């Protein structure tokens, strides 16, 4: 362990990352009771955020970025998710300062991660979309309109209380011509959503089996 009056700040710099209580204790080679106390001290310094996995298992995100007065897109995504088992964790999340990021921005952020886990949680964000015009502008800028439409159709099948996409958004999206298929996650396509893939010319990195947590 590091000695000195600011030893916990120095320790926080050295142990940045994601941990369970067990892995954190193992990282420091201390007993769990000592690890709990150290996490308490790090939290007092603003270095720790806690997330929950399945069965309410705690995961600790230790990062100097947690001291910043801002909210990450990952935090915004997790706001929209009721089931702890679906929430995502990131030790390298982009922070927004001086304003609250929108769910529309969080949705595009999730898609742009090109990651299966983020694609799964993106479906829950469709419950929170209220400014479809803003979402369309963001998606058009990133060339992700068809990805948004494809994932929306899956969300309507899987997630409860997803609002209907405005006809204007849908009609504008249909006018976009795309010859080649796009991957959301490289080299992964679906066995269960072939009709949606064909309609929007987007490979979906999900099957029904990946979405079982939404049914709980």
- Given this model, what pLDDT does residue 55 score? 67
Residues 25, 114 within the same domain:
no
Q: Are residues 122 and 201 in the same domain?
A: yes
Domain carrying residue 86: 72-215
Q: Could you say which of 16, 32, 67 is where a domain stops?
A: 67
Residue 21 sits in the same domain as residue 103: no
Number of structural domains the chain divides into = 2
Residue 60: give its domain's CATH number.
Answer: 1.10.10.10
Select from 138, 49, 59, 124 the least CA-distant residue to 86.
124
Q: Verify that 32 and 136 share a domain, yes or no.
A: no
Radius of gyration of the chain (CA): 20
The pLDDT value recorded for residue 52 is 74
- Could you tell me if 168 and 135 are in contact, meaning their C-beta atoms sit under 8 angstroms apart? no
Q: Model-level pTM? A: 0.72
Cβ contacts of 130 within 8 Å, gap of 6 or more: 103
Tell me which of 18, 49, 67 is where a domain ends. Answer: 67
Instruction: Map tokens 């000195």 to a residue.
Output: 4
Query: CA 203, CA 25: separation in Å to the nearest integer?
Result: 42
If DSSP codes are grouped into helix, strand and coil, which group holds residue 190? coil
Q: Give 51's strand partners.
A: 59
| pLDDT in the model for residue 71 | 76
Instruction: Tell me: do 31 and 88 sit in the same domain.
Output: no
Q: Both 37 and 90 in a single domain?
A: no
Residues 121 and 150 in one domain: yes
Q: Tens-digit pLDDT profile for the chain (216 aa)?
A: 555 447 888 899 899 988 999 999 999 999 999 999 999 999 888 888 887 766 678 888 898 877 766 678 888 888 888 777 788 876 556 677 667 889 999 999 999 999 999 999 999 999 999 999 999 999 999 999 999 999 999 999 999 999 999 999 999 999 988 889 999 999 999 999 999 999 999 999 999 999 998 877
So what's the pLDDT on residue 116?
95
Look at residue 64 in the predicted model and tell me its pLDDT: 83
Q: Are residues 41 and 90 in the same domain?
A: no
Looking at the fold, whether 6 and 104 belong to one and the same domain comes out as no
Same domain, 97 and 185: yes
Q: Which residues partner with 49 through β-bridges?
A: 61
Domain shared by 130 and 45, yes or no: no
pLDDT at residue 92, as a whole number: 57
- Domain finish residue from 67, 82, 108: 67
Name residues whose C-beta falls within 8 Å of residue 71's C-beta, 6 or more positions apart in sequence: 95, 96, 100, 101
Q: What is the pLDDT of residue 4?
A: 45
77 and 179 together in one domain: yes
């Amino acid at each position: 362990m590091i000695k000195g009056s600011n030893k916990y700040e120095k320790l926080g710099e050295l142990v940045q990352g994601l941990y369970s209580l067990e892995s954190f204790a193992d990282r420091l080679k201390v007993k769990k009771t000592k690890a709990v106390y150290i996490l308490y001290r790090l939290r007092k310094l603003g270095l720790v955020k806690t997330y929950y996995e399945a069965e309410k298992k705690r995961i600790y995100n230790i990062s100097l970025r947690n001291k910043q007065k801002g909210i990450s897109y990952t935090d915004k995504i997790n706001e929209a998710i009721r089931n702890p088992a679906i929430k995502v964790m990131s030790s390298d999340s982009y922070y927004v300062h001086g304003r609250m990021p929108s769910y529309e921005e969080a949705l595009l952020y999730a898609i742009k991660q090109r990651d299966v886990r983020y694609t799964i949680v993106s479906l829950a964000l469709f419950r929170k979309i209220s400014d479809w015009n803003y979402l369309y502008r963001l998606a058009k800028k990133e060339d992700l309109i068809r990805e948004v439409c494809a994932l929306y159709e899956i969300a309507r099948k899987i997630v409860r209380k997803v609002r209907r996409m405005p006809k204007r958004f849908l009609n504008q999206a249909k006018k976009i011509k795309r010859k080649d298929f796009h991957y959301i996650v490289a080299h992964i396509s679906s066995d269960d959503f072939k009709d949606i893939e064909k309609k929007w010319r987007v490979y979906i990195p999900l099957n029904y089996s990946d979405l079982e947590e939404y049914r709980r």
